[in-house]
Structure 1
Amino acid sequence: MPTITYREAVRHALAEEIERDEAVVLLGEEVAQFNGSYKVSEGLLERFGPKRIVDTPISEAGFIGMGVGASMLGLRPVMELMFWSFYSVAFDQILNNAANVRYMSGGQINCPIVIRGPANGGTNVGATHSHTPENVLANHPGVKVVVPATPYDAKGLLKSAIRDNDPVMFLENTLLYGEKGEVPEDEYLIPLGQADIKREGTDLTIVTYGRCVLHSLAAAETLAAEHGLSVEIVDLRSIRPLDIDTVLHSVAKTHRVLIVEEQKPFCSVATQLAYMIQRDAFDELDAPIKRLSTIDAPAIYSPPVEIEQLPNPKRIIAAALDAME
């Protein structure tokens, strides 16, 4: 299989779906003439033209609202946010309108929109550009939330998201765009709501998603080499729908759990996971469920301090050893 970057995998998914279905369009700030703020859409304007690749004004409330309306009328718009932090100015359009229109219309109106872009810290852009809102998004019935960690997953999940008849929130990571991985040239889809075992293990389950998958894999290698621990890594890939069965199956094998997320700890994805694990697998646990989150403060501007605020292999190793006590 060819080895390509995460950025290229997203671009390939977009190109394949735009070519496959004339209802698919890409809209967002600088996606066309500038080739995308992160060059994800590079070359797509030249290939598909300005009716399919559309630059928008700097008004998330405006163009997200336009995309919601377009999806209700039969298009399948893919909306790029330069930063997911800007979702808050389109909160009503995304989480009041798009999330609820199927229910409010008695099933008569679908809203097949995808909203995608980077949602992460670690890039020294400060507290107003470093949000990870997957917990807020997933709190609203009617939307689906996807956070891929690898190029392979990014392509397969984005193609599925574009074909889905519900609003899909697709959270990427600027620090993953340059990561490389094997991606088939033949078409493939990854179902939404299906977790993946990224590493088999017997002593400890780490449940994670997004860039924390890579940090957890690196930590698992060190834990094996230096401490003799066999760590299983469960990559959720999808926050909602959530594949809790794969998580519980792993817990039943290892009997210890560490949840790692790039989220603030209060009311986070890990909070919900910890509840579900103790509810459904309490008798399988040999130790309390452990969590490792971003340190509970606005995103720190200083690069070396921000690195320590976020989950990293060193912090994951320490948390894993604590979970084994």
Structure 2
Amino acid sequence: MLQFVIKRMLIAIPVILGCLTLVFFLIHFLPGSVADLIAGEEVSAETISQIEEKLGLNQSLGQQYVTYLLNIIQGNLGQSFVTNEPVLDKLLAHFPATLTLTIASTIVAITLGVVLGVLSAVYSNTFIDNVVRVISLFGISMPNFWIGIILIMIFSVQFNWFPSIGSGSLNQLVLPALALGISGAGVITRLIRNSMLDVLNNKFVTTLRSKGLSERKIIIKHVLRNAILPTVTVIGILFGEMLAGSVVTETVFSRQGVGTVIIGAINQKDIPVLQGAILLISITYITINLLVDVSYSVIDPRIKREA
């Protein structure tokens, strides 16, 4: 197991490097000058030149890239071009809110997806199954921001049950977590349904029934456990999608997370902040997928890992 974890960590290094490289060059090809944004309007060319020299923007793109990588290796994400605040401190201050939202959304997606998926499989080709499949299709098809706006209109404006903005309390977490989690629930519902239908057709289920086991025990203890393994892989992917989707969702609900930081960095072309945020999200995504891979052996001990 340890060899497997080490191997996956080594594989993650070029993945992170690829993300950093892609983002670095894409950001530098964006129109506009950082020095112009910082200096403001009606400034001399000499002032612009001094700002570029101070920020290292007068160097070639290759030199800036090498300098950035060397700083990353030393644990230095640089300073914000706009506020002069250390990037790492800025991200760590906002990351807990984003991570909380992503975890809560994942819990919503898993809970709704498993419950609806089991119902759909157990009552296959019935009215319940048809309703669940329509719900799952709705969740998959609708964008997160649209679901968020609908939730605000119903539960915040109409009924005044939950606040529509902010990130300081549990009540402020409910609507954005639902907005992100509903789409993930649609995917999990379909996977659970299809996997359970495959398992239910196996001969061992007939054997369990002939032994007199209750249907509930067969479904939960045996069928669901065998059917849930393919879903675990998707949960890791969904977590990454929700982490990325939090950028838009946090904007809709005015949450002070990494998403807000990214939007601000894009508008102000604050390159170090944007690069640092992408790095943080990439590392988090890779770590979650590593944990998902390791969890396979816990769910199904028959699975053996190759070092």
Q: Same fold (TM over 0.5)?
A: no
Bigger CA radius of gyration:
2
Q: Which bin holds the TM-score, normalised by the shorter protein?
A: under 0.3
Structure number with the higher helix fraction is 2
Structure number with the higher strand fraction is 1
Q: So what's the TM-score if we normalise by structure 1?
A: 0.22
Instruction: Indicate the structure whose relative CO is greater, using CA pairs within 8 Å and at least 6 residues apart.
Output: 2
Q: So what's the TM-score if we normalise by structure 2?
A: 0.23
